[in-house]
Amino acid sequence: MDSALIPEGAKRCSFPKFAIGIAIVSAVVLWGVFAMFLCWFKGLNQTNMDDYYGFALWIWADLAVIAVGGGAFFTGLLRYIFKIDELKNIINFAVIIGFICYSSALLILAIDIGQPLRGWFIFWHANVHSMLTEVAFCLSAYFAVLTIEFIPNILENRQANKVPFFHHLAHNMHGVMAVFAATGAFLSFFHQGSLGGVAGVLYGRPFAVREGLLIWPWTFFLFTWSAAAFGPCFTLLVTKITETVTGKKLVKDNVVHLLAKISGWMIVTYIIAKIIDTIYWAMVTAPSLGFTLSHFYSNNGFYGYWILITEIVLCGVVPGAILIMKSTRENPTLRLVAIILGTIGICLNRWVMVLQIMAVPVMSFDTWALYFPSWQEIATTILPVAYGIILISVAYRYLPVFPQEQELNTIEPVSKTE
């Protein structure tokens, strides 16, 4: 039915099967859209946030998707600026994942503000001292860059590519993509960093505040570094999921091993910096404000030392160690464990840097504040996941996302011709 749109030589499931799959995920999207409109029309009383928890699940989701979407800018940087040619085989997919992540972040932000119609004030009345202003500018600009990076892949669709203008446009855009990759890396450095700065500048919150360099707290650099380190883990994880769902090998092992190795070394260097930062904060920063480390991890029903150990050791040191050693990195099971742990680790870090900050009491007579999101918050957070599944499905079906797909899956067409 839609075979004219499918890349030449590629094998895809039947259209009815594809349509049924999309319909099921679309139901989840509709659920999320319903919750989104409830929030827009009835207000944020639809959430379980309160005056202690003004920042909650949505801000975490924003930070998490932007962190895992960091695979796009970092892979682009490696491919186009550092000229690591093998990565051309996964860059399209990294860009699509980044596009999904950043569009999701913008959508969630649009739901998360109390006066959505005034969202543009952040640009018009910008406060140059606010990290959130920097986030808004760089995030929007980088989303534009991601869109530009995604366009050539869309134009390579079998039908679109028949139009000479689109064909040449895609070709020429590929030619200048290094410029956009460099722009993307520059913008990402600042918005990933300023998302870290959002927490690090909160000098009224001893759990969050960090010293730093000039106007940038250490969290600024840690967030950029961690996004570059763990973003590729997520790219590899989604690639693996796509391979499992489609039942096909889509990227050659040498490409996967290379990206995993780079990610591993980034994780190891990041986690060393993170450990140093944590020790300095625990031994110097927090005590200078009258707080012991135990204050942040006791006397409440959820946040214990387990979260610190899980984030840094189990989901930081362990995946880093697995990915830097050739023998473990090239073991598919261990590599999968590492990229799953890495993805969980970066999400957990963002959770801690949003929700635990809000939970910790600061005034000596105050109490811990814990919160569980409402179904509207959960639905609108799942919404981008469902949207991402649909976009990946559509892109995979109709666009030449994986350049090595045909080479890796040639057995069937050969047997047919015989």
**Residues of this chain that bind another protein (CB under 8 A):** 43-45, 49-55, 112-116, 118-119, 121-122, 124-127, 129-133, 136, 198, 201-206, 287-292, 295, 357-358, 362-366, 369
To another protein, the closest distance from the beta carbon of 59 in angstroms equals: 9
Q: Name which of 69 and 206 has its Cβ closer to another protein.
A: 206
Residue 42, CB-side half-sphere exposure with 13 Å CA sphere? 10
Q: Name which of 31 and 55 has its Cβ closer to another protein.
A: 55
Q: Name which of 237 and 358 has its Cβ closer to another protein.
A: 358
Q: Name which of 112 and 277 has its Cβ closer to another protein.
A: 112
Residue 230, CB-side half-sphere exposure with 13 Å CA sphere? 34
For 8, 198, 246, 409, the CA distances from 406, given in Å and listed in that order, are 9, 45, 13, 5
To another protein, the closest distance from the beta carbon of 22 in angstroms equals: 34
Q: Name which of 2 and 50 has its Cβ closer to another protein.
A: 50
To another protein, the closest distance from the beta carbon of 117 in angstroms equals: 8
In our burial notation (b when 16+ CB lie closer than 10 A, e otherwise), range 215-231 reads ebbbbbbbbbbbbbbbb
- For residue 216, list its beta bridge partners: 213
Structure tokens at 33: 């859209």
Q: Name which of 58 and 402 has its Cβ closer to another protein.
A: 58
> Which among 196, 287, 278 is positioned nearest to 295, based on CA atoms?
287
To another protein, the closest distance from the beta carbon of 345 in angstroms equals: 23
Q: Name which of 164 and 290 has its Cβ closer to another protein.
A: 290
CA 100 to the chain's CA centroid: 9
To another protein, the closest distance from the beta carbon of 327 in angstroms equals: 45
To another protein, the closest distance from the beta carbon of 225 in angstroms equals: 23
∠74-354-26 over CA atoms, to 5°? 70
To another protein, the closest distance from the beta carbon of 103 in angstroms equals: 19
Q: Name which of 50 and 407 has its Cβ closer to another protein.
A: 50
To another protein, the closest distance from the beta carbon of 190 in angstroms equals: 15
**Three-state DSSP class for residue 246:** helix
Structure tokens at 235: 């790219």
Interhelix angle 218-246/375-398, rounded to 10 degrees, is 60
* Size of the chain in residues: 418
To another protein, the closest distance from the beta carbon of 360 in angstroms equals: 10
Q: Name which of 208 and 347 has its Cβ closer to another protein.
A: 208
Structure tokens at 177: 């993509």
To another protein, the closest distance from the beta carbon of 123 in angstroms equals: 9
> Which among 73, 78, 69 is positioned nearest to 265, based on CA atoms?
78
Q: Name which of 93 and 371 has its Cβ closer to another protein.
A: 371
Looking at this protein, which amino acid is placed at residue 175? G
- Rounded CA-CA distance 77/123 in Å is 28
DSSP class of residue 156 equals: T
CA dihedral 134, 65, 385, 35 (to 10 degrees): -50
Q: Where are the alpha helices (DSSP H) in 163-298?
A: 164-175, 177-200, 218-246, 253-280, 286-288
Q: Which single residue is written with the structure tokens 């489609």?
A: 246
To another protein, the closest distance from the beta carbon of 55 in angstroms equals: 5
Q: Name which of 339 and 355 has its Cβ closer to another protein.
A: 355
CA dihedral 266, 269, 321, 355 (to 10 degrees): -80
Structure tokens at 110: 């649009």
